[in-house]
């Protein structure tokens, strides 16, 4: 016995047929490709600081911030990421299911992999010890190369980079 009666089945068929699929063939340009601004590269000694106060996997904000910091690094900036508050969770190398490192769902390890790439390419990553403590994270669970930092260092890091004339990108998610 069908879950739906004939009237509902007819409406389903009608609804599906209202819009042809695929609406555009694969490879169709839907958007223009004109880049407005020049592809700026770092001048000697320029710095780029990214502050991340966002929960990994709750939105794309934290992930995009890591990608932007990596792009800045590749443009020649002395690029640093500072994770604090719930952002500290992004620095844990204990992510995965059923065991650490396993990909529990597509994209599950994107943040970890991107942080490892950033560090591997010469970026610096700090993680607030207080943010870790708030979420029960241990320093020994940090991604290799992440530098644990005192809670008072967040503000002084911003002052340090501001005094150097750095570009500062600060991201939050609520």
Q: Which pLDDT does position 94 carry in this prediction?
A: 93
List Cβ<8 Å contacts ≥24 apart for 69-72: 69/118, 69/123, 69/169, 70/114, 70/117, 70/118, 70/121, 70/123, 72/42, 72/48, 72/167
Q: Which pLDDT does position 95 carry in this prediction?
A: 87
Please say whether the beta carbons of 116 and 71 come within 8 A: no
d(CA 22, CA 20): 6
d(CA 70, CA 81): 9
Instruction: Give the largest Cα separation in the chain, rounded.
Output: 73
Q: Which pLDDT does position 49 carry in this prediction?
A: 96
Q: Which pLDDT does position 30 carry in this prediction?
A: 87
Average pLDDT, consecutive stretches of 10 residues, N- to C-terminus, the chain (174 residues): 88 90 86 92 96 83 95 98 95 92 89 96 98 95 98 96 96 80
């Amino acid at each position: 016995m069908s879950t739906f009666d004939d009237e509902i089945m007819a409406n389903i068929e009608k609804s599906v047929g209202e819009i042809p699929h695929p609406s555009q063939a694969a490879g169709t340009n839907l958007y223009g490709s004109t880049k407005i601004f020049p592809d700026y590269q770092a001048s000697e000694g320029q710095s780029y600081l990214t502050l991340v106060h966002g929960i990994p996997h709750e939105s794309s904000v934290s992930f995009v911030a890591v990608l932007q910091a990596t792009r800045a690094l590749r443009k020649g900036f002395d690029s640093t990421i500072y994770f604090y508050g719930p952002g500290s969770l992004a620095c844990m190398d204990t992510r995965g299911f059923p065991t650490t490192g396993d990909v529990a769902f597509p994209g599950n390890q994107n943040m970890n992999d991107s942080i490892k790439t950033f560090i591997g390419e010469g970026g610096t990553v700090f993680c607030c010890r207080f943010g870790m403590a708030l979420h029960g994270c241990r320093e020994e669970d940090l991604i290799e190369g992440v530098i644990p930092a005192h809670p008072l260092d967040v503000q002084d890091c911003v002052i340090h980079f501001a005094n150097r004339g750095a570009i500062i990108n600060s991201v939050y998610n609520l």
